[in-house]
Amino acid sequence: MSLVDSSLISLLVRALDLTAQRQQLVAQNIANVDTPGYHTRDIDFRGELQRALWAGQADPAAGGAPFVREVPGLIERPDGNNVSIDRESLLMAGDQLQFQTEAALLRSEFSRLQEAISGGGGQ
C-alpha cells in the first residue's frame, strides 16, 4: 500500500463521489417538480459509505453505483408528485457544504502527504 493509496483518501474520494451523485438526484427532483406521478429519489449517504467500508470497497471505482430509492413519507399532491422544493433546496445547500468540507479534507490529506514526502520542511 502506498501513501497516496490510503484508506482515508479512498474514503474521501468515495464521499465526494456520493455527494456529487446525490446533487444530481436533487437536481433531477427539482427538474421534475411539475411532472405528474414523479416521486422524489435519493440515496442514503451514510448507508452507502458503510456499504463501501463493510465491503472493503472505499475505492470509488470498486464501490459501484449507489442504491437509489424513492423517499418514503413525503406529502403527495393530487397529481401524484411528491417533490418539495423546500426540501430539495435545503438538501442542495447541505450537499454543497458537505462537498466543500470533503474537498478541504482531501486537500489537507494531500498537503500532509506532501509534507511527509518533503521531509517536513522544518529541517
Angle CA(98)–CA(73)–CA(80) in degrees, nearest 5?
Answer: 105
**pLDDT band at residue 58 using 50, 70 and 90 as cut-offs:** very low
Q: pLDDT tens-digit profile of 36-55? A: 999 999 998 888 888 877 76
pLDDT tens profile 69-116: 999 999 999 999 999 999 999 999 999 999 999 999 999 999 988 888
> Distance between CA atoms of 35 and 25, rounded to whole angstroms?
15
What pTM did the predictor assign? 0.78
Going through the chain in order, the beta strands assigned E by DSSP cover 41-43, 68-70
pLDDT digits (tens, 9 = 90+) for 63-82: 578 889 999 999 999 999 99
